[in-house]
Amino acid sequence: MLIDSHCHLDRLDLTLHDNSLDAALHAARQRGVGHFLCIGVSAENTAAVKALAQRYDDVDCSVGVHPLDLEPGAEPAMDWLLQELDAPGVVAIGETGLDYHYEPEAAELQQQSFSLHLDAARISGKPVIVHTRAARADTLALLREASLPQAGVLHCFTEDWDMAKSALDLGFYISLSGIVTFRNADALRDVARRVPADRLLVETDSPYLAPIPYRGKSNLPQYVREVAEYLADLRGVSFEMLASQTTDNFKRLFPLARVKN
């Protein structure tokens, strides 16, 4: 069984499936995907991801505010985060983190929000899902300062081995998406070969970043199989072994997820 450890089910382009999320999830299940983690990115989509977790037995969700969804004066509040984290089906906090690639001018606001999410993760005991882009030093500094007692994950990892190693040393997992299949992703493939088998996750980040041969098209949860097959070949293991290991890793990282054995 495979698990899509990071997808945005409320944002999918469902054209290929007659505009039916039921059909899209069925197509993924037919390709061996047995569970989905639907990610919160804002206060506005929190209700949607929680509703999906209630609607489907094989969907869990996270809640949080993405660094690119922050607005000055409307930062997430701790009481709101903790209340939402306590809802049924919510197994993680995030995605949160730092993105200086698109909004370097918002660095201070992003850092404040990230710190708030990390505090909420410590209080709730739930794992944190981290987005980081062009903010390597600050991301690692805040994670070290937080010193969380539980693990988290750097999702859709795009950095180099030095950052991956630093995150692994802090107890974090590394999740890889379709980007690892891109022609110009040699540095990421080096990371993909070196991440310990017990710290690796796979994801689509759908509807974004579809793997080859679907690059440029809208991504779907069913394409996590392409990511897993590519990684298995890259790491020199069988697809079955990689699927089993990443599923075990997901269950360990997200112990509240309702993954069927």
Q: What is residue 96's predicted lDDT score, i.e. its pLDDT?
A: 97
Residue range 189-203: average pLDDT? 98
Residue range 100-124: average pLDDT? 95
Q: How far is CA 206 from CA 5, 39, 128, 163, 184, in A?
A: 11, 10, 19, 24, 20
Residue range 43-55: average pLDDT? 97
* Residue 261: pLDDT over 90: no
Q: What is residue 42's predicted lDDT score, i.e. its pLDDT?
A: 94
Q: What is residue 145's predicted lDDT score, i.e. its pLDDT?
A: 96
Band (pLDDT 50/70/90 cuts) for residue 46 is very high
Residue range 229-236: average pLDDT? 98
Band (pLDDT 50/70/90 cuts) for residue 249 is very high
* Mean pLDDT, rounded, of the chain: 96
* Residue 223: pLDDT over 90: yes
pTM: 0.96
Residue type, 39: I
Which letter, b or e, does each residue of 59-88 get, where b requires 16 or more Cβ atoms within 10 Å of its Cβ? bbbbbbbbbbbbeeeeebeeeebeebbeee
Within a 10 A sphere around the Cβ of 105, how many other Cβ atoms?
A: 8
Within a 10 A sphere around the Cβ of 149, how many other Cβ atoms?
A: 9
